[in-house]
Amino acid sequence: MPSLGVNIDHVATLRQARYREQPESHNAEPDPVAAALIAELAGASGITAHLREDRRHMQDRDIFLLREKITTKLNFEMGLSEDILRVALAVRPEDVCLVPENRLEVTTEGGLDCAGRLDVLAPAIARLREVGTRISLFIDPEESQIRAAAALGADFVELHTGAYANATGAARDKELHKLMEGAALACELKLRVNAGHGLNYENTTAILVLPGLEELNIGHAIISRAIAVGLHAAVREMCDLIDRK
């Protein structure tokens, strides 16, 4: 049965909206680390956080505190910059998920181009492996990208579900079929399968049938739902939805 990783980036986004110049102030709120602990108590199997190069939401201090405080696992999302790589090597998260990063985007807009960046990704992955971190690559469900992930020796692929989440009707069915085929190929190549991006309380159920699916990483929908019902309840609702598979 797939587990739930809760992405807490948008808790930090709300904090930064008011405390951008003083995120470490004693009264800067909401606290993403406190949110992570609530998510764990509600049933999350891990916490996902993306430290962006421009530090638009999560800050370095947040990542180090997460490493210290959470009791499940830390899935550290990161772009491929030396600055962020140094943080990952110091923090030693259980999982690192390498993602593309564009400073102008509101959220991650597509999968990582593994096939076109083998020469850049391979040495970074080797350095992360030296500190015992498992490697996940956030990619579109395309054969070339999945085969490249296998060639790089990744532990996981996290299939980008954004196109599926944004589609409706027959188009959504087509995107789900692509995800199914991508997950099946990943399993054939001995890659473990995660998925995420744009998933919510309405569209997640269909994703649960992906071959080999181990974990869903969901953030925005849960934090949005928390405004109405509270974070513990919002996480619990998503866990229950997944458990009903």
Supply the residues annotated as catalytic. Answer: 50, 77, 197
DSSP string covering 126-167: HHHHTTT-EEEEEE-S-HHHHHHHHHTT-SEEEEE-HHHHH-
216 closest CA partner among 151, 178, 165:
165
Give the rounded distance of the alpha carbon of 233 from its chain centre.
21
Q: With residue 53 as reference, give the H or E element that holds it.
A: none
The separation between the first and the last C-alpha atoms of the chain, rounded to the nearest angstrom, is 8
**Tokens 């020469």 -> residue:** 119
165 vs 14: CA distance, rounded Å: 24
182 vs 204: CA distance, rounded Å: 17
Distance, CA of 119 to CA of 61 (rounded, Å): 31
Determine contact, residues 183/211, Cβ cutoff 8 Å. yes
Name which of 120, 56, 66, 63 is nearest 86 in CA terms. 63
